Structure 1
Amino acid sequence: MLFSDLILAIMKPLNRQRTISSPYHLIKGKKSGQTIQDIGYFGLYPYFGIFPKLDKKAYDQVVQSLFLQGYLLANEQVIELTEKAINTSDFDTPLNGWKYRGNENLFFNRLSLIVQTLSHMSQSVKTFDPIVNNEEIQMWVKKYLQQIQFRDIAVVQAFKKELFTTLTDSAISETHKMILTERLTGLALSGLTWQQIATSKKLSVLDVQLMTVEALHGWMAEIEKSNPPLLLGLMEGVIQQSSLTATAQRTEKLFERGFTLEQIASLRQLKTSTIEDHVVELAMNDPYFNFKPFMSLELYKAIITESRRQQSKRLRDIKVHLPNASYFQIRLALSIKEENQ
């Protein structure tokens, strides 16, 4: 997937319902109520937080190119796709941003330093400049290597075999695999820069970086599936154990103890609207969420019916026809998986 493909993939379900900057916040992993809700509303889980350091100017340049290529129409309020964009094929991608939340970088940094260390130590070269400067990662790798008895040549061979076997079996293209291996550093072999890889592949740097994230997500999925004992250790702390953000988890615990939204807001010294965001997130991730303390079944059905009639999830448009419903109630209703009610 190219970066322009990524933006189009996000924009298609958001068409005429969200602003042109919405995909940017989603890709960056912004934890605002609006962004978190949109993930559930529009099924955008794969794309969340895959570029936490994405530059706004770089994003705007790609969006501008979509205008020039005839994929977008000028609209100051919302995304408006052309027929050309709407008719583009859906993109297959191994991305799983909601699950990994950017931790693929942690996995790859650990791997890079381990590969570099094993490469040097197997040739009796004991001093080198570590490719990863982060002290926490360096300490983790040192402990890991001691645990696996890395000085044993059989362990080194086993690690190498797991690496190549899982990468080979991963559901990603050969280009994706090549990009990953070209980023690794070993004895007398330096990993290539983003620009070097982009030039050699005739791609943009953003395209190469996106393909790297895709490759890592596909690779980590294969590691989870096949459970290779040595590589599986690198997954420690990488997988998001809860589908909720950390702040929503804290609200959930108080809510389960019977506190009202206002009481939770007071206890946590947060705005009630922020706690409402958390409740919407809880509903989005819990198929058994009970919405009845917040609205009647009749109101819930009315909101869903109106959303379907308009073929839209824009809160303002729904509220015009249901003035008695609060924005919180509308957001909450739209977050609930209808098949579970």
Structure 2
Amino acid sequence: MLFEDILIIILKAVDGERTISSPFHLLKGKKSGQTIQDIGYYKLYPFFGLLPRLDKKDYDKAVQTLLRKGVIVIDGQVVRVTEKSGSYNPEPNLLNGWKYRGKEHLFMDRLSLAVQTFSHIHQNSRLFDAVVIADDIQRWVKYYLQRIDFRRTESCQRFRQEIAESLALVKVEDQQKMIVMQRLSGYKLGGMTWEQISLDHGHGIIDIQLQAIETLHGWMEEIETGKFPLLKILLEGVIQQSSLTETAKRTESYFKNGRTLEEIAALRGLKTSTIEDHFVELAMNDPVFDITAFIEKNLFSKIVAISQEYNTKRLRAIKENVPEASYFQIRLALAAKGENT
């Protein structure tokens, strides 16, 4: 999937409801209340945090390209897509940013160092410059290799076989799989830089990186099935055990122990609005979270009805029609309603 395609998907979802900077914060993985709730409101989970190092200049350049093509227009404070956006129909993708939250890079670092070590050891070469220099990853991979008895020829063969078989199951183009392979280093073979791969495939660096990320997300899904035991160990600590951010989980713990919103804010030394953000995140991600502690059922139904009638999730527009509701209650109702809003 290309960067331009992802931008259009996001902009179509928030059409006329958000500013042009909204996709930037989403792709960077900003953990603000606004960004987190937009993920739920507009079902943008696949794209969260895909490009944490995305440069604003690169983003603005892509936006200007869409403006020049007439695909989007800036309308006051919001961005709207035009009829030309209808010609963009990207294929379904394997991206799952909300689940992995950038941890695909940890998986890739572990894999890269394991592949490099296997390659050198089985060529009787014990001295090499590690492709990953981070001490924590080197320690983890060293322990991992000992666990799987990496010096045995059978272990090397099985490791290589699992890579080939699992990657073959990933439903992306072979070119995308090649990008991931080109990043790996081995005996007398150095991994290619993003710039080199970009030139080799004729795509921009961001496009190349996104294709690698999509491949990794799809690959990790296959490995999670448990059919590839040597590779599955590489996912330890990589897979998110909770759909909540860490800070929201702490708020949830206090709430389950009977603390009120105000008490939680005081205990945690955070603003009340920040704790409200956490409750919106809970409503968005936990199907059994009971919001009636904050909003009556009749008011909930009224907010949802207005949202549907006017086809909007803009808080101000809903507030004008439901003045008795607080902005926090509106956000909760929209988050809890989920796909039906």
Query: TM-score of the superposition, structure 2-length normalised?
Result: 0.98
User: Percent of counterpart pairs with the same letter?
Assistant: 53
Per the alignment, residue 120 of structure 1 pairs with 120
Q: Tell whether the 8 Å contact from 2:40 to 2:338 is kept in structure 1 after alignment.
A: no
Query: Mean Cα displacement is larger for which, 69-78 or 122-131?
Result: 69-78
Deviations 1:317-338 (A, max 9, x none): 1111111110000000000136
Moved over 4 A (4+): 338-341
Pairing 1:100-119 to 2, within 5 Å after superposition: 100-119=100-119
Per the alignment, residue 243 of structure 2 pairs with 243
Q: Tell whether the 8 Å contact from 1:12 to 1:86 is kept in structure 2 after alignment.
A: no
Amino acid at match of 1:47: F
Distance 1:134-1:339 versus aligned 2 partners, 3 A rule:
closer
Per the alignment, residue 290 of structure 2 pairs with 290
DSSP-derived class of the 1:218 partner: helix
Query: Mean Cα displacement is larger for which, 72-81 or 45-54?
Result: 72-81
Q: Shift of residue 6 of structure 1? A: 0.8
Q: Tell whether the 8 Å contact from 2:304 to 2:337 is kept in structure 1 after alignment.
A: no
Per the alignment, residue 138 of structure 2 pairs with 138
The whole-number CA distance in structure 2 between the counterparts of 1:340 and 1:179 is 38
The whole-number CA distance in structure 2 between the counterparts of 1:38 and 1:117 is 43
Aligned length: 341
Per the alignment, residue 31 of structure 1 pairs with 31
Deviations 1:98-136 (A, max 9, x none): 110100000000000111111000010000000111111
Per the alignment, residue 92 of structure 1 pairs with 92
The whole-number CA distance in structure 2 between the counterparts of 1:298 and 1:229 is 51
Q: Shift of residue 168 of structure 1? A: 0.9
Distance 1:338-1:101 versus aligned 2 partners, 3 A rule:
closer
The whole-number CA distance in structure 1 between the counterparts of 2:212 and 2:48 is 15
Pairing 1:1-341 to 2, within 5 Å after superposition: 1-337=1-337
The whole-number CA distance in structure 2 between the counterparts of 1:20 and 1:265 is 32
The unaligned stretches of length 5 or more in structure 2 are: none
Deviations 1:123-175 (A, max 9, x none): 10000000111111000001101111111011000000001110111112101
The unaligned stretches of length 5 or more in structure 1 are: none
RMSD: 1.4
DSSP-derived class of the 2:81 partner: coil
Q: Tell whether the 8 Å contact from 2:110 to 2:141 is kept in structure 1 after alignment.
A: yes
DSSP-derived class of the 1:79 partner: strand
The whole-number CA distance in structure 1 between the counterparts of 2:99 and 2:186 is 30
Q: Shift of residue 287 of structure 1? A: 1.1
Amino acid at match of 1:318: I
Q: Tell whether the 8 Å contact from 1:120 to 1:126 is kept in structure 2 after alignment.
A: yes
